Structure 1
Amino acid sequence: MADRSFRLEGTDQILAALRQRTERAAARVESKALRAAGEVMAADMRQRAPKSARDTNLHLKDHIQVSNVRRKEGTKYVLIGPDKKVSWRAHFPEFGTSRQPATPYIAPAYHAKKREALQILADELRKGLAQR
């Protein structure tokens, strides 16, 4: 009887490539979930943000955004809040000044939407796992 054994070479490279693709796909799912959860909070923040009585295009509510996904010490996160055009004054309505009473919009949005954001994060991650 003939020897019907064979040798498969390159399996280490194939497995490494497969792992790399899986890691990249997981990272995309994670990033998409973080941005979706952040958008929920940003939408509530936009709704609560005060609008200036002045006729200007620099209203806080028009400049609230969700950042791209960032990483610090292995932890991914997004920043939610006013962009650089108006961030220098975003704390005035939040905490008030000597001439302006506080009209918080950041903290109330966080407390109102944190559970919903966590639920969306979990749902997006589940949806991403189901696609794989």
Structure 2
Amino acid sequence: MPVDIKFEGMDELLRKVEELGKKGSRIENTALKTAGEYLAEEMKKEAPVRTGELRDSIKASNAKTKQGQKYVEVGPDETTNWRAKFIEFGTVKMKANPFMSRAYEKNKDKIQEIIAQKLKEGLGL
């Protein structure tokens, strides 16, 4: 149950990254992974803790590509994913505690800044 993030307004930076080919792809992967790791840490702070298993399972994947779009998945691993859905969305007997959504909403501007900064660093800007 990863969080899906899409950013607007970074067209110029992304165009320059694409012009670099493989080197640009590595720069882009690094930027996405760094931002994903930041979000994972923030998500852990919001996660409810009973045993700590759910919190400790939150990770960021390496950069992936689907239909030409690069992304990282951030959230609990397969072992706790099923439980995280109940906590995030609630059940008929349990109120929702949207810890993943809350972490993203609180940090989406910072995530975009991290991506932009890492792209600029990689491009030498």
TM range (shorter): 0.7 to 0.9
CA distance in 2, matches of 1:49, 1:86: 12
Moved >6 Å (runs of 4+): none
Q: Percent identity?
A: 41
Q: 71, 74, 95: which one pairs with 2:68? A: 74
CA distance in 2, matches of 1:123, 1:40: 13
In our comparison, the structure showing a higher alpha carbon Rg is 1
2:92 counterpart residue number: 98
Higher relative contact order (CA 8 A, sep 6+): 2
2:107 is aligned with 1:113: yes
Q: Over aligned residues, Cα RMSD in angstroms? A: 1.5
CA distance in 2, matches of 1:63, 1:117: 20
Give structure 1 stretches of 5+ with no counterpart: 1-21
> What number of residue pairs does the alignment pair up?
106
Q: How does 1:26-45 map to 2 (within 5 A)?
A: 26-45=24-43
Give structure 2 stretches of 5+ with no counterpart: 1-19
TM-score, scaled relative to structure 2 = 0.79
2:83 is aligned with 1:89: yes
For residue 51 of structure 1, what is the amino acid of its counterpart?
V
CA distance in 1, matches of 2:116, 2:61: 19
